Chains A and B, each alone.
Chain A
């Protein structure tokens, strides 16, 4: 439970977890920013919309009925803001030229090294780049649902709550997104196997992949 202070409006006293804005920002800003950055791929827009998300949440805190978690509620606001942002023609135009656009190679450089060899690390970076690019090619809904599931690690019912879609629709979009990613992953795996990793089975795509690692 977050530290809260009482808020009085007329004779009715309200207490919401969003009253202590500073704590809420400290706790959820990284998550909201990460989601918006992956969705918009523009750090300036992500920063602006992250701030806007918390301002909206603060303004509308009285309507927060705690039927979902604060995180879910914030992500829902962030998602609506991102939708509004991407709908504008201005965004579509500037998306091509903005200097603050995320560089995929830069993201891939953040792959943790752990105990990987240089070659394995390079392959890992390549995989991240491919997934990042494939996710970018998904439809808006598929991308949103994929990011909510695999980046924000939300459960399917939570995603349904955030997006306002039925459970079946969420699953359907998620499976389609995963099928596309899987196909692309196997395709690039095959090409990698052909060019770089001769030990990998090009027919099944990954039958011997496990053994090579």
Chain B
């Protein structure tokens, strides 16, 4: 049920009292302080005990309402878990050089171990390695030539090296061999 508005300025006691608007205006001010030049409503309030008491009573009731609501809300708020706010990530142009510097440092730091690994894998400095490669190439060419000469010699020979012992039957070794073989056959005959 919604209460009815009572704007009349005259009550049962027959005296003139504050209108609803005047009352609201005074109530909405919060304080009872009267300005240097009191308005009609304020003057009435100073003279009328009924209106003054009513205003004070209502002010106190509203103040109690505020205090109780405030305390209740505070208690309820304490029961709510604290929010976890995400970390703020603020980008500032003033920090751009620092960002670049950090990026360059990271790049160099990442490259350095790679270079060191590469050097370790090669074992010797590049200049030395190049010289060694040239030296190896020269020596291998010489040995190749020697090998080819040997092959050519073998091919051009009338009798292969492995058959050379059989090529000259008049040699001492051959005679001795034949003699020993003859003796062996004679012994078998006997």
B107 neighbours in A (Cβ, 8 Å):
none
B13 neighbours in A (Cβ, 8 Å):
203-204
Interface contacts (Cβ under 8 Å), in number, total: 165
C-alpha spacing A7/B88, complex, angstroms: 11
Q: Are A207 and B50 within 8 A (Cβ)?
A: yes
B71 neighbours in A (Cβ, 8 Å):
110, 112
Q: Are B66 and A150 within 8 A (Cβ)?
A: yes
Q: Are B68 and A111 within 8 A (Cβ)?
A: yes
- Interface size for A (C-beta < 8 A) is 65
A166 at the interface (CB under 8 A from B): no
Q: Are B54 and A132 within 8 A (Cβ)?
A: no
A38 neighbours in B (Cβ, 8 Å):
69, 73
Q: Are B73 and A33 within 8 A (Cβ)?
A: yes
Once A186-B54, A210-B53 are accepted as A-B contacts, the answer to whether A111 and B67 lie under 8 Å apart by CB is yes
C-alpha spacing A165/B70, complex, angstroms: 26
B60 neighbours in A (Cβ, 8 Å):
127
Once A33-B76, A110-B75, A153-B30 are accepted as A-B contacts, the answer to whether A175 and B90 lie under 8 Å apart by CB is no
Q: Are A178 and B28 within 8 A (Cβ)?
A: yes
C-alpha spacing A206/B24, complex, angstroms: 17
C-alpha spacing A47/B85, complex, angstroms: 15
Q: 29 A-B pairs, CB-CB below 8 angstroms?
A: A6-B92, A8-B91, A8-B92, A25-B83, A37-B72, A106-B72, A107-B68, A108-B68, A110-B72, A127-B60, A131-B62, A132-B69, A135-B65, A151-B69, A151-B70, A153-B30, A178-B20, A179-B5, A179-B6, A179-B24, A180-B2, A180-B5, A181-B58, A184-B3, A187-B3, A203-B12, A203-B13, A204-B13, A207-B53
